Amino acid sequence: MSLLNYLATNYELLFILVGLVILSVISVHLPEKMKSLTLLAVVLLFLETVSFYLERWSQTFETLSVLRPMMTALTYSLYPLILIVITRMTAKKLIKLRFWLLMIPELICIPIFFSSQWTDLVFHFDEENHYHGGLIPKLPYLLFALYAVIFVISNIMYLKRYSKKQRLAVGYISLGSMAGIILFLVSNSDKDYSFLFAASILMYYTFMYIHMARIDPLTSLLNIQCFYKDIQSNDRSITGIVSVDMNYLKYYNDNLGHEAGDKALKTVSQIIMDNCGKGGTVYRVGGDEFVILYMNASEADITDAISTMQKKMSETEYMCAFGYAMRKTFDSLYDKLKTSDEMMYLNKALIKKEYPIEKLIKNKETFKK
């Protein structure tokens, strides 16, 4: 065994891992947490390649060395751990409990793997250095499958409010990786999965980078660049447009500070996103301006959604003006957007007349109590 041999065996994998490190360092769209998790996954995957290589080297020994069962246990432990780290990028939407709850199955299995040489639960090696399956030899695969399912569910829940194309992209990455692992198992190929893992992480990182470039970092809504792209690619499917404008954001920023203004925008955005109804996609197109595009929705669907959003908004201290326009197939989308904006500005003027700034302050104090 030599360093040169290790580098030659794993050059393609190491090339991808170093590339991921470089991309994470220069990235501007991904949150710091996501970049840190990517770097952690790279480190764990590197450790897995080393453990797998050392385990392969220990197979050449004429008699059993403690190195082989330790490296086997380490490899079994690292695969699900890598999945856990990648899942943490989106697991906040799946589970609001602490990180250690996600770790419980892994923490239970790690001591089982490392003691298996003496307990014979998963595997053991005889004195002639031959492998033998234990009482539950499939435990590493079951553990990996558990975290694979959690990963897929987490991404489905995280991406459910975004486009179907994005969910399909993650589905391809997830199912493609699983198919490769199943293929290796069915063919009884004693293959290191690390290159497949590295390729999957690179694809997932690229996807998340593209995804985050479409997202407004404050509100998590789709941004204005995404809005213009979507009205071009979905032109024929858009049947309705809703314009939304938050009232008195300047008051919050100037008198209560930008932190209060950010809180207001986040609250309003969450209400719009949660209550815009089926077929609605929400975009933040300005400081306090939002647009909802509706695909194949009727006027009744849209007016019902606006009523729901207004009702939910009335339960907070914040106020928003709404306007909408329906569109037929050959109507100009930009003309309808203008009509929707005009309706919204009329509604905004009425709200300001009924709720002048003094009344807003009083309303805010009521909510504080």
At residue 114, the pLDDT reads 96
Across residues 217-232, what is the average pLDDT?
90
Output b/e per residue, 117-138; b: 16+ Cβ within 10 A.
beeebbbbbeeeeeeeeeeeee
Mean pLDDT of 58-71: 93
Backbone φ and ψ of 293, nearest 5°: -100, 135
> Is the same domain home to 124 and 41?
yes
Residue 197 belongs to domain with CATH number: 1.20.1070
Is 218 inside any structural domain?
no
Distance in angstroms (rounded) separating the CA atoms of residues 92 and 89: 8
pLDDT in tens, 9-35: 888 888 988 988 998 888 888 888 888
Report how far residue 259's alpha carbon sits from residue 21's, in angstroms, rounded to the nearest whole number. 33
Report the distance separating Cα 115 and Cα 69, nearest Å: 9
The alpha-helical segments, DSSP class H, found in 59-97 are 67-87
Enter the tokens of residue 182. 């199943």
Tokens of 32: 């710091």
Q: How confident is the model at residue 2 (pLDDT cuts 50, 70, 90)?
A: confident
Q: Within a 13 Å sphere around the CA of 121, how many CA atoms are in the beta-carbon half?
A: 14
Question: Which of 145, 180, 213 is the last residue in one of the domains?
Answer: 213
Please state the three-class secondary structure of 213-245 as a single string: HCECCCCCCECHHHHHHHHHHCHHHEEEEEEEE
Question: Do 193 and 79 lie in a common domain?
Answer: yes
Q: Are residues 236 and 268 in the same domain?
A: yes
Q: 26 in helix, strand or coil?
A: helix
Query: What torsion, rounded to 10 degrees, do the Cα atoms 145, 146, 149, 150 define?
Result: -140
Banded pLDDT at 361 (limits 50, 70, 90): low
Distance between CA atoms of residues 20 and 38, nearest Å: 8
Q: Is there a single domain that holds both residue 296 and residue 350?
A: yes
110 and 248 inside one domain: no
pLDDT of residue 191: 66
State whether 81 and 110 are in the same domain.
yes
Residue 139 has pLDDT above 70, yes or no: yes
Query: Which tokens in the block code for residue 236?
Result: 């024929």
- Residue 293, classed as helix, strand or coil, is strand
Answer yes or no: is 196 within a domain.
yes
Same domain, 31 and 136: yes
% of the chain at pLDDT higher than 70: 92
**What's the pLDDT score for residue 311?**
94
Helix (H) or strand (E) holding 11: helix 3-26
Q: Are residues 153 and 296 in the same domain?
A: no
Same domain for 39 and 161, yes or no, is yes
For residue 344, the tally of other CB atoms under 10 A from its CB is 23
- Tell me the pairing of strands 289-295 and 238-246: antiparallel
The answer to whether 267 touches 285, Cβ cutoff 8 Å, is no
Considering the domain architecture, whether residues 195 and 316 belong to the same structural domain is answered as no
* Residue 315 Cα distances to 212, 259, 309, angstroms: 31, 21, 10
How many domains in the chain?
A: 2
How far apart CA 296 and CA 361 sit, in angstroms, is: 40
150 and 122 co-located in one domain:
yes
Q: Residue 141: CB partners within 8 Å, gap ≥ 6?
A: 185
Q: Residues 176, 200: contact at Cβ < 8 Å?
A: yes
Closest CA to 41 of 153, 203, 239: 203
φ/ψ (deg, to 5) at 96 = -100, 5
Check pLDDT > 80 for residue 204: yes
Write down which residue in 213, 236, 259 finishes a domain.
213
pLDDT of residue 94: 47
SS3 342: helix
Compute the mean pLDDT over every residue in the chain, rounded to the nearest whole number.
Answer: 86
Residue 188, pLDDT score: 67
Last residue of a domain, one of 213, 233, 248: 213
Domain span holding position 182:
3-213
Q: Tell me: the pLDDT tens digits for 277-307?
A: 888 999 999 989 999 999 888 999 999 999 9
Query: Within a domain: residue 206?
Result: yes
- Asked if residue 240 and residue 204 are part of one domain, the reply reads no
Is the distance from CB of 71 to CB of 55 less than 8 angstroms?
yes
Dihedral in degrees, nearest 10, Cα atoms 311, 315, 318, 320: 0
Q: What is the pTM of this model?
A: 0.75
75 domain residue, yes or no: yes
Answer whether residue 152 is part of any domain: yes
Asked if 316 and 322 count as a contact pair (C-beta separation under 8 A), the reply is: no
pLDDT in tens, 85-135: 888 877 654 445 566 788 899 999 999 999 999 999 999 999 999 999 999
Q: Is residue 219 part of a domain?
A: no
Q: For the chain, state the CA radius of gyration.
A: 27
CATH number at residue 324: 3.30.70.270
Does residue 355 register a pLDDT over 80?
Answer: no
